[in-house]
């Protein structure tokens, strides 16, 4: 059986371990090697590969140390500057890992080299989306622009509604506080916030999230929603003629929230 477990790192990162009963493991975005090495040792696992979503240090900082212990392939975007990548990927490629495979999706916006991995694992669709999509939020636009990021989010939004979302940070409660500001009358936002407060009080991750639920409380997936547009116009003081204008306004608001 294959399972997916979070390996906490730094203050709020999750390194995802995809592992099976045969003792094989693949890790996604290992920003720190030490928690990964401990996880492998404690669970009698052998690292078989490293999947990278983008070049930020908190996602790749542990790669070289892991490679010093395990000679494994490193998967990442073909036009990324990450020197450790040995299997360069682009949109439409598939990564074959054990008894499952993942499709590669190009999702620029947070960075220009950002990709996501999507496929069925243990009978359900799974998405490893790095810092593009968070539960109730999305990544900052460090290198891309609002139109680019919205296009990437729309691509992810079209995945099956029962897709489990494995993003790289425990930002959910912070994102939900912002979502309440954008949609103060939303029952879906309030319900998700109460659920996540209970989870975090018990030290349980709020992830994975479910895509079909995200579209009801994540304002960055709801740029076409009239209530989101009205609030974006009110806060920005500008008319939001398009959904991209709305997205840009709420992303700028979130940056200073």
Side-chain half-sphere CA neighbours of 39 within 13 A: 24
Question: Choosing from 54, 55, 114, 225, which is the catalytic residue?
Answer: 54
CB 30 within 8 A of CB 8: no
Question: Choosing from 39, 55, 110, 225, which is the catalytic residue?
Answer: 110
For the question of residue 169 being annotated catalytic, the response is: yes
Question: Choosing from 55, 59, 114, 225, which is the catalytic residue?
Answer: 59
For the question of residue 56 being annotated catalytic, the response is: yes
CB 25 within 8 A of CB 46: yes
For the question of residue 245 being annotated catalytic, the response is: no
Question: Choosing from 29, 32, 113, 131, which is the catalytic residue?
Answer: 131
For the question of residue 131 being annotated catalytic, the response is: yes
Question: Choosing from 32, 58, 113, 245, which is the catalytic residue?
Answer: 58
Question: Choosing from 55, 169, 225, 245, which is the catalytic residue?
Answer: 169
For the question of residue 110 being annotated catalytic, the response is: yes
**What positions carry a catalytic annotation?**
54, 56, 58-59, 110, 131, 169
């Amino acid at each position: 059986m294959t399972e997916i477990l979070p390996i906490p790192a730094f203050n709020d990162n999750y390194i995802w371990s995809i592992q099976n009963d045969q003792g094989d493991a693949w890790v996604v975005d290992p920003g720190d090697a030490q928690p990964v090495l401990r996880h492998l040792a404690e669970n009698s696992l052998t690292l078989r590969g490293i999947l990278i979503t983008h070049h930020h240090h908190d996602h790749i900082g542990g790669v070289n140390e892991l490679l010093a212990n395990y000679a494994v392939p490193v998967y990442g975007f073909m036009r990324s500057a990450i020197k450790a990548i040995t299997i360069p990927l682009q949109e439409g490629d598939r990564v074959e890992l054990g008894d499952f495979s993942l499709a590669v999706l190009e999702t620029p916006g947070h960075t220009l080299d950002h990709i996501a991995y999507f496929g069925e694992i243990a009978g359900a669709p799974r998405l490893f989306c790095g810092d593009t999509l968070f539960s109730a939020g999305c990544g900052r636009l460090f290198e891309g622009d609002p139109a680019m990021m919205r296009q990437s989010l729309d691509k992810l939004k079209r995945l099956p509604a029962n897709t489990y979302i494995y993003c790289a940070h425990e930002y959910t409660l912070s994102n939900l506080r912002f979502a309440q500001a954008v949609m103060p009358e939303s029952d879906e936002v309030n319900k998700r916030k109460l659920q996540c407060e209970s989870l975090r009080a018990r030290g349980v991750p709020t992830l994975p999230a479910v895509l079909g639920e995200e579209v009801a409380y994540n304002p960055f997936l709801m740029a076409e929603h009239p209530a989101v547009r009205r609030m974006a116009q009110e806060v920005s003081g500008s008319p939001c003629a398009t959904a991209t204008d709305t997205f840009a306004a709420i992303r700028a608001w979130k940056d200073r929230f």
